[in-house]
């Protein structure tokens, strides 16, 4: 397996994990009081938007090819780390 394929698989696995975590947060949210629900739902929607954006970046990466992805990797890693930080912060509120 090439480094490029390994990197794509790693990103796909992380997105799947985050999707599962969001479903768990939404399930917990159903138990919350209405006032808390509004703020937490905003957090979830923000995360969903960021995940969709990341999925778009992953699609760009998939279409780039073995050599071109290396130039994209730095920016993608930065965006991924920011999303991961946001996800951890939101998760801590649940």
Whether the model pTM is above 0.85? no
- Total domains, the chain: 1
**22 and 68 Cβ atoms separated by less than 8 Å:** no
Per the structure, the complete domain to which residue 50 belongs is given by 3-92
> What number is the average pLDDT over the span 51-72?
80
Q: How far is CA 82 from CA 5, 8, 13, 85, in A?
A: 22, 18, 17, 5
Band (16; pLDDT cuts 50, 70, 90): very high
Q: Is the pLDDT of residue 36 over 80?
A: no
Average pLDDT over residues 65-85: 81
Q: Tell which residue, 48, 47, 60, has the closest CA to residue 11.
A: 60
| Mean pLDDT confidence for 46-72 | 81
């Amino acid at each position: 397996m090439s480094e490029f394929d390994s990197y794509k698989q790693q990103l796909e696995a992380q997105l799947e994990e985050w999707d599962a975590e969001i479903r768990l947060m939404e399930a917990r949210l159903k138990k919350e009081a209405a006032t808390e629900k509004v703020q937490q739902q905003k957090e979830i929607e923000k995360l969903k938007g960021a995940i969709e954006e990341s999925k778009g970046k992953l699609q760009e990466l998939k279409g780039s090819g073995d050599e071109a992805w290396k130039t994209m990797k730095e920016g993608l890693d930065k965006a991924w780390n920011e999303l991961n930080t946001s996800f951890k912060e939101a998760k801590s509120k649940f």
